[in-house]
Structure 1
Amino acid sequence: MSLPPLVDLPAILLPFVTRAEQSLRDAVEALDDDHGLSTWTPERWAQFSRVTAASDFVTEQSVRDPLMLLELVRSGELDRGYAPGELCAQIAAAVNAAETDEQLGRALRRQRARHQVRIVWRDLTRQADLVQTCRDLSDMADASIDQAYQWLYARHCQQFGVPTGRRSGEPQQMVVLGMGKLGAVELNLSSDIDLIFAYPEGGETVGVKRPLDNQEFFIRLGQRLIKALDPMTVDGFVFRVDMRLRPYGSSGALVLSFNALEQYYQDQGRDWERYAMIKSRVVAGDQVAGAQLQEMLRPFVYRRYLDFSAIEALRTMKQLIQQEVRRKGMADNIKLGSGGIREVEFIAQAFQLIHGGRDLSLQQRPLLKVLSTLEGQGYLPPAVISELREGYEFLRYTEHAIQAIADRQTQMLPDSAQDQARIAFMLGFADWPAFHERLMYWRGRVAWHFAQVIADPDEEQGAENEVVVGGEWLPLWEEAQDEEAACRQLQEGGFADATQALKALASLRGSPQLRAMQRLGRERLDAFIPRLLAQAVEHANPDLVLERVLPLVEAVARRSAYLVLLTENPGALRRLLTLCAASPWIAEQITRFPLLLDELLNEGRLFKPPLAPELAAELRERLTRIPEDDLEQQMEALRHFKLAHRLRVAASEIAGSLPLMKVSDYLTWLAEAILEQVLALAWRQTVAKYGTPLRTDGTLCDPGFIIVGYGKVGGLELGHGSDLDLVFIHDGDPQAETDGPKSIDGAQFFTRLGQRIIHLLTAQTNSGQLYEVDMRLRPSGASGLLVSSLGAFARYQENEAWTWEHQALVRARVLVGSDDVGRAFEQVRAAILGKARDLPTLRQEVSEMRAKMRDNLGSKSTAAGTGANAFEATVPFDLKQDAGGIVDIEFMVQYAALAWSETYPPLLRWTDNIRILEELEKAGLMPVEDASLLREAYKAYRSAAHRQALQKNAGVIPGDQFADERRQVMRIWRELGLS
């Protein structure tokens, strides 16, 4: 945000300026050399007036060391930002000139005073915005800590020897972690610094007669470092150092090894320590070892699952803070009070702790960047983010104004009229009431948004009338009433079989998973079940809801954070019950993969899956956040992406917001987006191992490879749970060697590339497999090469392929891969499908193949739908394989494409049955009524098949359904001469 324009100096502040100007002139006159103020312009004096009217600190430092201020003016440093490394270089030069610890402390304090004056000056004259001011302050802290550490470490080693790792034998350096605002590069004008000291491994010092244990060496070094920075001397202080965030707080060792830190956080780490560790950053010492330490601690901070327990922890922390605020009368504290800075931080960090283990974009430190990510990733609406951002920036500017007055670490609004006038003046307001009104507006908005994210759902009724949601069901769950009363309550709630429902709850209560739960998990379950029952009875069939949701509850009982998710989000629980009631397939998916519960949080996103370009872009972005060498995480990300978007499509289909054709489109786009990334991943891995293959003209393949989709994926007709019929084709030189150190010929390379793709698609991980893959449609089927060259593919199709393989080619299209190879494949496909054919022979071969399929796959009891009893309600109708069903329509379309493409090429343009039927109608090759009938019957059959799949039923329905459609499809079959 931008602050209001600068305002004129109010009269109440004029005495500050008069006194500061006179004091500065006196101090400059006392200098022995010929420095003076004669070169100062009116603009410079105006700046001086503005700054000293607001800041006693700048006045005091300028009068105490006028040469420092004059040098800042002469060098132009008050009027420009520093280049990268410039601030550090200045501090390093001053530190390197020191010869004793005392001289080190003096050099650091004088540098701090100099840079603090510059930073306050630029802040109050609006030459630096909030981000620049915080960055300069943090850079000053980083440089002060690191330069002091390096200076002290060298002398410490001379005195006590070089600390050396017992296991590695390598010299050891300390790692200094900056926490809180320092870690996030968000220091305020008078912030203390929260630090944690660590060292890589145990051992002892070498090079001295009496070696020290590494820990003792680093404890003494840490004490010297704190002494260099923290104490107040005649020269002031550098930074107040707070070490209480280390393990065990003030009673813990000052420095711990990496292993000891990891063990502590794994065994004893508390929620507030996770919150603190989000912003940790290596600010001094060994940066390489520090990066390793942060990687070791990442699993403690960011859980791999959705961790809604974080909200409980933040809520508890906020309650403790509020109690302290009330106890100490700190309502005017703009950091800790209601609607203060801490509440914005809590909102951002709640999402980081909950989702950051899976969404790596949230694993960052600066709050403003986290807010932008929350907006970009759809966690919060843009309007909410805008208010949080503006409110936070206003509060931080206010914090800086409060601290600029006297360089005091406080966030309390001042009581005196003069200081109140100063605050209003610094932020561009005419007077205190105008400023205070704006401040309270932003605090009110922040407090409101905080309540939406962090507030306890049980407090919705208001503090005067608190009612626990679902509380009326708690006695039943806790067995505090007899069985008869429990059954009566369930019956009154709408359960048809109250006895069975009670038995199911008892079975859950006695399950091994629940008996093994720890106390906290059991408390979460006890809070959740009454909510579940309260919402279940709102459904038309609560028995069905309970039957389908209790297995999920049992599955996640040991990971009770999922129960917290549903407890904290009544809307998500409502959507879960609705979807599970509608589809046992969805219930099973969520039970198998509870991470899908995350998708229920955002109703708008759940029922509005993205279009193809957005889908592909989202997956690309997600994978770019994962290191290229982390195959396990890449595979998990691909699988989670597929599971999440498949759930969105199913939910949209159930809600009626996505018609059948769009369902298949989305599922096909999803497969294509995944295949694009799988091919890229497999290509990188194969090239890294063997080098790049060559084309016949000697150029490098890039990749010279395509994945062709047949069947449902080729025809854009994927359903829930469909496998992928794929064929791999390359255009490389099979004989030429790859250009890597471990070279192989092109044929081997592309075979291994194909094997890698299949492995990535089919390997079972914690999140299942991506897709089942069927490669039997490749040339020569299961006995043929896994990957064909384009030439070999063309020769096979021309000379060896059966008619049924040409039928399959009708539905074949390039899914992903090289554009030039894709175009060449389309030419081969068009040439094969567009050949002149003997129609009687074609009809006979298509009919014979269809007869074989009916015999092998159709309903036996009705002779595959051709028997006299085929239309009776008591017999089955196989939607796909029986006469008059899906395959009959597909075969007719394929027959027509093969029969007439030579004279009507537009039939080759499409691979889906609906549009080919439209082309047949346009060309007059099929009567309008018949083409329309086949299209509508085809969509109706597929829609029924989708419904069956969502109900976890086979694609078989009673024989009396679709009777008219089936008879008409069979009639058209006969009229085409197929039998």
Structure 2
Amino acid sequence: MTVPGRRSSTFTRLLKHGFTDPSAAARLLDLPDMSSVRSDPVLLDALGASADPDLALRSLVRLAEAHEPDERRRFLDNLITAKPLRDRLLGVLGASEALGDHLARHPRDWHALATYESADLHPGVEDFERGLADATDPVSLRVSYRRCLLAIAARDVCGTTDVAQAAAELADLATATLRAALALARAAAPGDAAACRLAVIAMGKCGGHELNYVSDVDVIFVAEPVNGTEEAKALQAATRLASHLMRICSETTVEGTIWPVDANLRPEGRNGPLVRTLSSHLAYYQRWAKTWEFQALLKARPVAGDATLGQAYAEAVAPLVWQAAERENFVADVQKMRRRVVDNIPAAEIERELKLGPGGLRDVEFAVQLLQLVHGRSDATLHSGTTLEALQALAAGGYVGRADAAQLDEAYRFLRAMEHRIQLHKLRRTHLVPEDEADLRRLARSLGLRTDPVATLNREWRRHGSVVRRLHEKIFYRPLLDAVAQLAPGETRLSPKAAGQRLEALGYADPAAALRHLEALASGVSRKAAIQRTLLPVLLGWFADSADPDAGLLGFRKVSDALGKTPWYLRLLRDEGAAAENLARVLSAGRLAPDLLLRAPEAVAILGDPEGLWPRGRDHLEQEVLAAVGRADTAEAAVAAARGVRRRELFRTAAADLIGSYGTEESPAEGDPGALVDRVGDAVTELTAATVAGALRAAVRDQWGDTLPTRFAVIGVGRFGGHELGYGSDADVLFVHEPRDGVEEQEAARAANAVVAEMRRLLQLPTADPPLLIDADLRPEGKSGPLVRTLASYQAYYRRWSLTWESQALLRARPMAGDAALGEAFVELIDPLRYPPQGLGDEAVREIRRLKARMEHERLPRGADPTLHTKLGRGGLSDVEWTVQLLQMRHGAAEPGLRTTRTRDALAAARAADLISTDDARTLDEAWVLATRVRNGVMLVRGRAGDTFPSDARELAAVGRYLGYGPGHVGDMLDDYRRVTRRARGVMERVFYDA
């Protein structure tokens, strides 16, 4: 019986040794077989030095009890007297519950840890093959495998090997296991073995000599017939052997499993044949393989089976691997794969993801592989499948800064060590950092973190993850700056050829020009150059992620030249992370926004304001424009001031559209293309209305002061009235006036016409800004009719002469500037025309249909593809708008919701009134939104309006990026457009033509 004082002393001693449950530990130590352990301070010290002393003691008791009495005494005597055994065994038992379970089932396997000879320190494949030699079936192979794993883990937890050596040993053990499994498969089917040559190619971490404790072992199988066997029969035999090998390693037995053998990296993945001939592999890679497949082949290494065939495979695919960087969209493809991996991580796990999350192991591996593929074309020293070896070679060759490489090496080793110890505990495949306090404590102690272990572990983990995040892209772009900045002459730099290769891989069409821009921006010792060297590595990554990196970098140089001496500019980009990224996105997305910005570079400040990208409302815009007009000395200066506001606000709208800021957490626009289109339409329309109001004020003030002899209003029609203007749209208008009391009609008419002429002159003055054309061709009598009329004149014309199409054109009429009361009076005048009280007669309907058919036949430009013309093509804007407008004219008098100038609102009202089915309305709406977005995208990319997709490949790709299509998916964009508009045309023919 233990007296209370002694028990208290024991508890204190156990707590000092790191036990967290001293009561349970004391009970175990009181067991008769544990007397030698209890009385030996060296053994208690060794238990306390383990990652989890409680776990180590529990497993030690189970191991001792598993022996017969005599063997138990010998085992415990060895444990006491042999320090190597004591340190290694207790180190394993404290770190791995799973290996403790193995020893409890196979207690004699402790002998695998008893030796400590130099030959035992770094075994190779042959050593492991000897360790597996007694395996005669899958069960005994698993036992032998775990015995070898036990020795690897002992060297690992005791620090005899570092994390890279442990990973290499695990890969060598996997190689020996694959060979043993293949031997078992051959022995089970000697006929198959004789019919074919089969080589096993290791991929992934096994191929790269950097395997985890628990991981799929990725392989590819290649086979050839022997002894005159037909190829088909040889492949069948090889497939049976390969399948049997996979089952031996992957299936669960009473001894558990070894690891899954994964052959999904083979050509065509799981849909392709398991085994191919060498020529079949090469035919696939030369014709069909994607970029990521060549990236995967970087780690290909023959490990089992026919060595000559395996080596022939490796030699045949190597040239293809090192040509991969010459493929179109190479970097974008690699980065897209990385993003796809991150996007598939559950949101609840991403912060705990050690391997795949941001700043994780995969970021290091992707960055290193990317640089290997770019520069390995001309430098064979980079041809290593092992991440850390390749990183060292990149640093030695000057492709990565030595300090950056050293930091990345340290971070990678720490993260891999964490991954190893997490998996070692239960021998389960996981990359998630545990949340339980006890698990974190054991993990931290296994890594040698003994002071405040959990807090220290979290701090070190976050620190290394932050280093990886910071260096992930810096190591790719920073050496480009070092190559041109001409600083630190002793530092190894990229050669001009290597810098050019890297820029070409990033998508720069003119790497020489890009290097000149970088030199101009980053050379020298000024504070400005130093900040640029900090900013540019990240900016270059954003430019490379666009359709036109050259344009992005050139635009950045121009903006920096214009604002470089302005104190706030570089500070804004450095300190406001969103501002730099937003600027990069805007500058590399097309011509319109950069052209606007270069006309007023100070608008960069908009990009750093969280609310800066939201469009200003009509009242705010008109107030600012009219105030600017009021301060100007001449009408020309007034309109120039109004144009300055328009330029800035058009840039705000374009930038927001490109960046996607119209969709935010607070806004329902997120992910809704229709809402994005509406926002742009509203913003451009209200900006145009404010500009027209400013031109009107300037025209009136210059000749008449504050009061014009006649009341005057500008009525928006077409897209202007519908609040649907795009970046390149003209403003269709009607002008109406009404003489003031006491003013003769002739005098009023002269004044109104003079105002119209002056407005048009002022707005047509030469300028570098995007043009704002006001088009009055939809007025009564068209181009031959008077530009401006009184209300009475409009009423007389419409009552006597108006045609159906003119009533249709009035559907989108809406007051936009000038006398508000007069504008409303005009609306009251035209409402009975556009929404006929009795609806449309049959003849009027036929007239509209005839006019639409004639327009389709006559107005589509010669040579234009009718399936891709956004305005007049099949299922384009015209088809949708005429369909909606016919419904408005037929039913607008009875359905108030149809009395709107906006196409989408009218379509929604028609659906609500059951005038069109929900599916048909959705189809028309989708086509209208898509066609509108294409037109906006063309204007943003080309800087000039267009109704069809660009023919230039780079411009077409930029439109694709605007629409959400990544690199290499231009064909998908065109196919989707044709599909959507084809369906819309079908709806239009049924609803409009009653077909």
The two structures have a TM-score, normalised by structure 1, of: 0.45
